[in-house]
Amino acid sequence: MHETHFGSPRNRVDGRLKVTGAAPYAGEFTAPDLAHGYVVSGAIAKGRIKSIDTKAALAVPGVVQVFTHENRPRTAFRSNAYQDEVAPPGKPFRALYDERIVYSGQPVALVVAEDFEIARYAASLVRVTYEAEPHETDLEKVRGKAYVPPVKRQGISPPPKPRGDSEAAFGNSPVKVKAGYRIAIEHHNPMEPHATTVVWEGDERITVHDKIQGAQNSQSYITSVFGLPSSDVRVISPFVGGAFGSGLRPQYQLFLAVMAALELKRSVRVVLTRDQMFTMGYRPDGLQEVALGANQDASLQSIRHDLIANTSTWEDYQEATVNWSAMLYHCDNVTTTHKLATTDLYTPADMRAPGAPTGLFAMESAMDELAHKLGVDPVQLRLRNYADIDESTNKYHTSKELRAAYQLGAERFGWSKRNPKPRSMKEGRELIGWGMATGAWEAQMAQTSARATLTVDGRLEVATASADIGTGTYTILTQIAADALGLPMERVTTKLGDSSLPKSPVEGGSWTAASAGSAVELACHKVRETLFKYARGMDGSPLANADIDRVAFHGERIALISDPSRFVTLTDALRAGGVEKIEAEETAAPSKLTQMRYNSFTHSAIFAEVRVDEELGQVRVTRIVDAVAAGRIINPKTARSQIIGGVVFGIGMAMHEESMPDHNLGRFMNHNLAEYHVPANADIHGIEVIFVEEHDTLTSPLGVKGLGEIGIVGTAAAIANAVFHATGKRIRELPITIDKVIGTPEAA
């Protein structure tokens, strides 16, 4: 067998562009006569704009126009025209729609000027007066008004139906734990702020460079909101400077930039400031309670997990948060609930593994509490209650190598050397804590189309409208395509992030590798069949009478497997067909039949070491081992990076990240990267990734399950459990800041 690109570590194909600064992001496309837009953000949380005075701003030389709700051009009237591919139920936020203020930081004006500095200056001159109304941004204060969302969000499973009688079983359980948990609101903060450059092509046609995880999502939003034919709107976003979910839905700068460009009939760019990155979606606040009941033999008898999460006053945002507690372990009595309560904040948004790290922080902390109470090793407790099927839906797993993940992870970490007693491991003045947790995420495949084009110069191009937000999509699709036709990767070009390419859903949910990868493979196989037909039909073809499964595509040749000296080169085959190129477009879709019988998840066992200064409570996360079972790995190099990145995100969640609202003002106050802390280099030590071998023939034709989310899931819980092990202090509210750790430990 020839070594395939699939499964081999490969450098990123877009690496050179990225290390030379040549990869263009949304705010870096330009056009002659480009105008610059600067957003004015509102100061109050709720009320109305009494007056907005733009005269001084308009008087600044170089200011082209100032848009407010008073002079906003007409756009679609019906609110559902603003709904995008992943919108939750409700009426989407509309920038500059009217004088109503519904959250703090809401855009109230867009200043468009000849250059950035003029726009920025003029924006500071826009005078706004408000009539404030009482607001509420504190979830605690509205928990009594929580409700079950009447309309379910598409694509998000609501909590499964209860099974058994968790209340009675909890009552009867000899060992019980019950506690409340909370995470902090987190903002995505990709390094690239949200940006849109609209290039005015004339005749009402525009090319839009938007920071988005799906170019076609922006395209359909624009056509729907502005009433344009899709032929007049092309969205091109070849590079996305991180998104983590913030680029799933079109953000307000897209609306503003397109609005201004259409009205002014010229090219316009709107880039948000870092502070304005806190005026959009976030990982929601959630009040959680988990109650676990077990027998002395460590078998779970009852699981209850309740959540009240915040949403906005205009949309019912939902994510799968408590569901994980119902599927992860064998237990006959399980109840999970998910309610919402409205606050005067923006609608939450999907953020890396939406729901899972939140819910599993609570559940996996509770499991650790239970293990401690039972005097059972945390890994053993999980093995003791291992679920062979998904009991929440009564479906089989397409594959589940979680048991192996626990074992391999524990082995690599050295878990057997752990003294279970809290505060028992120490080095100098540092307490050492070892904790672990389970992670899980849905392995999904979504219908995706791709095109493959082989040209007579022996070059292959594959294309789909999906995106590469740093995930490595360009690279893995190139690997898959190169394998399909036996080409070196250098001969393959992958195109992404263009609404004119074959249809793809947004890039997210860890489904892109399985979905776009399968589509690319199908299209390439179609090309391969045609090519083989030409090769076989050549006069005196060495492959005459051969069957396609008797030949290998390798080294730019089609050769008999039994006798590689008999071959036809790809270019000869193309010439024989008398064509300049072979093109095929194919669509890959998940099997409905499989989905009826099976559920598919990626799993992980994550082990964390923390070192805590005994006196001062400074916590350092010094070691992580993450054993991941996620089907076949296309590129071990980029795959490892994705898991490491997810773990770092999880360390941020555990230790640093917190958007701090001032409830008096109804406003997040640390709205910048100086005071909203994400991990810095010094915070990150060794992270070891193990890919557990897992054969999965059902999730996707490629055997791939996806990796974008699983790295974060469980990380915060593993760290919190390690902090407990180190200090005897159970921290149930993230992040684990120094103030929560100092002081005497609770009775362990």
Partner 1 sequence: MNRFSYARPGSVADAVREVGSGPATKVLAGGTNLVDLMKYNVERPAHLVDVTRLPGLREIEETGEGGLRIGALVTNSAVAYDPRVQERYPLLSSAILAGATAQLRNAATTGGNLLQRTRCYYFYDAATPCNKREPGTGCPAKTGVNRIHAILGTSEHCIATHPSDMAVAMAALEAVIHVSGLNGEREIPIAEFHRLPGDTPERDTNLGVDEVVTAVTLPAPRFATNYTYLKLRDRLSYAFALVSVAAAFDMEGGTVREARIALGGVAHKPWRVLEAEAMLKGVVPERGAFAMVTERILQGAQGYGGNSFKIELARLAIIRALSQAAAGTPQSQTDKRIQ
Partner 2 sequence: MADLDLPARQGFAPDASPAALPSEIPLTLTINGERRELHVRPWTTLLDLLREDLHLYGTKKGCDHGQCGACTVLVNGQRINSCLALAVSKDGCEVTTVEGLAASDGALHPMQEAFIEHDAFQCGYCTPGQICSAIGLVHEGHARTPEEIREQMSGNICRCGAYTNIVDAIEDVLAKGTTK
Interaction with partner 1 in 649-688: which residues (CB under 8 A)? 655-656, 660-665, 667, 669-672, 674-675, 677, 679-683
Is 549 a binding residue for partner 1 by CB under 8 A? The answer is no
Q: CA angle, 238 as apex, 233 and 240 as ends, to 5°?
A: 110
Is 615 a binding residue for partner 1 by CB under 8 A? The answer is yes
Give the tokens for residue 447: 């219908």
The stretch near partner 2 (CB under 8 A) out of 110-118, 258-266, 302-310, 511-519 is 110-118
Rounded distance between C-alpha atoms, residue 486 and residue 37, angstroms: 48
Q: Which residues contact 402 (CB under 8 A, 6 or more apart)?
A: 386, 438, 603, 605, 629
Is 51 a binding residue for partner 1 by CB under 8 A? The answer is no
Among 241, 286, 422, 590, interactor with partner 2 by CB under 8 A = 241
SS3 of 488-556: the string is: CHHHEEEECCECCCCCCCCCCCCCHHHHHHHHHHHHHHHHHHHHHHHHHHCCCCCCCCCCHHHEEEECC
Among 362, 405, 543, 647, interactor with partner 2 by CB under 8 A = 647
Is 69 a binding residue for partner 2 by CB under 8 A? The answer is no
Residue placing its CB nearer to partner 2 in the complex, 80 or 664:
664
**Bridge partners of 432?**
611
Residue placing its CB nearer to partner 2 in the complex, 26 or 183:
26
CB of 40 to partner 1, least distance (A): 10
Q: Which does 132 bind (CB under 5 to 8 A by kind): partner 2, partner 1, none?
A: partner 2
What are the DSSP E strand ranges found in 594-656?
Answer: 598-599, 601-613, 619-629
Rounded distance between C-alpha atoms, residue 139 and residue 310, angstroms: 6
The stretch near partner 2 (CB under 8 A) out of 315-323, 476-484, 547-555, 638-646 is 638-646
Is 75 a binding residue for partner 2 by CB under 8 A? The answer is no
Is 649 a binding residue for partner 2 by CB under 8 A? The answer is yes
Q: Which does 202 bind (CB under 5 to 8 A by kind): partner 1, partner 2, none?
A: none
Among 213, 302, 641, 659, interactor with partner 2 by CB under 8 A = 641
The stretch near partner 1 (CB under 8 A) out of 39-47, 142-150, 187-195, 717-725 is 39-47
Q: Which residues contact 428 (CB under 8 A, 6 or more apart)?
A: none
The stretch near partner 2 (CB under 8 A) out of 6-14, 198-206, 305-313, 598-606 is 6-14
Among 93, 221, 239, 511, interactor with partner 2 by CB under 8 A = 239
Among residues 301, 342, 365, 413, the alpha carbon closest in space to that of 135 is found at 342
Is 616 a binding residue for partner 1 by CB under 8 A? The answer is yes
Q: Which does 457 bind (CB under 5 to 8 A by kind): partner 2, partner 1, none?
A: none
Rounded distance between C-alpha atoms, residue 219 and residue 230, angstroms: 7
Rounded distance between C-alpha atoms, residue 364 and residue 746, angstroms: 20
Residue placing its CB nearer to partner 2 in the complex, 17 or 404:
17
Q: CA angle, 737 as apex, 192 and 354 as ends, to 5°?
A: 50
Rounded distance between C-alpha atoms, residue 212 and residue 150, angstroms: 29
| Residue 517 φ/ψ region, left for φ over 0, alpha for ψ in the -120 to 50 degree band, beta for the rest | alpha
Residue placing its CB nearer to partner 1 in the complex, 137 or 321:
137
Residue placing its CB nearer to partner 1 in the complex, 43 or 389:
43
CB of 394 to partner 1, least distance (A): 45
Is 665 a binding residue for partner 2 by CB under 8 A? The answer is yes
In the chain, count H helices and then E strands.
Answer: 18, 30
Q: In the window 418-477, what residues touch partner 2 (CB under 8 A)? A: 469-472
Question: HSE-up of 309 (CA within 13 Å, CB side)?
Answer: 27
**Bridge partners of 658?**
none
CB of 726 to partner 2, least distance (A): 21
Q: Name the percent of the chain in helix, strand, coil, to the closest 5.
A: 30, 25, 45
Whether 368 and 721 have beta carbons less than 8 Å apart is answered as yes
Among residues 465, 256, 246, 442, the alpha carbon closest in space to that of 360 is found at 442
Q: Which does 620 bind (CB under 5 to 8 A by kind): partner 1, partner 2, none?
A: partner 1
Is 618 a binding residue for partner 1 by CB under 8 A? The answer is yes
Q: Which does 394 bind (CB under 5 to 8 A by kind): partner 1, partner 2, none?
A: none
What string marks each residue from 186 to 225 as x (binds partner 2 by CB under 8 A) or -? ---xxxxx--------------------------------
Active site includes 709? yes
CB of 691 to partner 1, least distance (A): 29
Whether 361 and 307 have beta carbons less than 8 Å apart is answered as no
Is 686 a binding residue for partner 2 by CB under 8 A? The answer is yes
Rounded distance between C-alpha atoms, residue 252 and residue 279, angstroms: 10
Which stretches of 92-233 are DSSP H helices? 116-125, 139-142, 166-172, 215-226
Is 119 a binding residue for partner 2 by CB under 8 A? The answer is no
Q: Which does 430 bind (CB under 5 to 8 A by kind): partner 1, partner 2, none?
A: partner 1
Give the tokens for residue 710: 């699983």
Is 381 a binding residue for partner 2 by CB under 8 A? The answer is no
Is 132 a binding residue for partner 1 by CB under 8 A? The answer is no
Q: Which does 660 bind (CB under 5 to 8 A by kind): partner 1, partner 2, none?
A: partner 1
User: Which amino acid type is present at position 224?
Assistant: S
Q: In the window 552-611, what residues touch partner 2 (CB under 8 A)? A: none
Is 140 a binding residue for partner 1 by CB under 8 A? The answer is no
DSSP secondary structure code for residue 25 in this structure: B
> Helix or strand or coil: residue 166?
helix
User: Which amino acid type is present at position 637?
Assistant: K
Number of residues that bind partner 2 (CB under 8 A): 82
Residue placing its CB nearer to partner 1 in the complex, 23 or 43:
43
Rounded distance between C-alpha atoms, residue 240 and residue 192, angstroms: 8
Rounded distance between C-alpha atoms, residue 718 and residue 655, angstroms: 12
Question: Which one from 192, 319, 585, 709 is the annotated catalytic residue?
Answer: 709
Residues annotated catalytic, as ranges: 709
- Name the residues that contact partner 1, by CB under 8 A: 41-43, 117, 120-121, 124, 428-430, 611, 613, 615-618, 620, 655-656, 660-665, 667, 669-672, 674-675, 677, 679-683, 737-739, 742-743
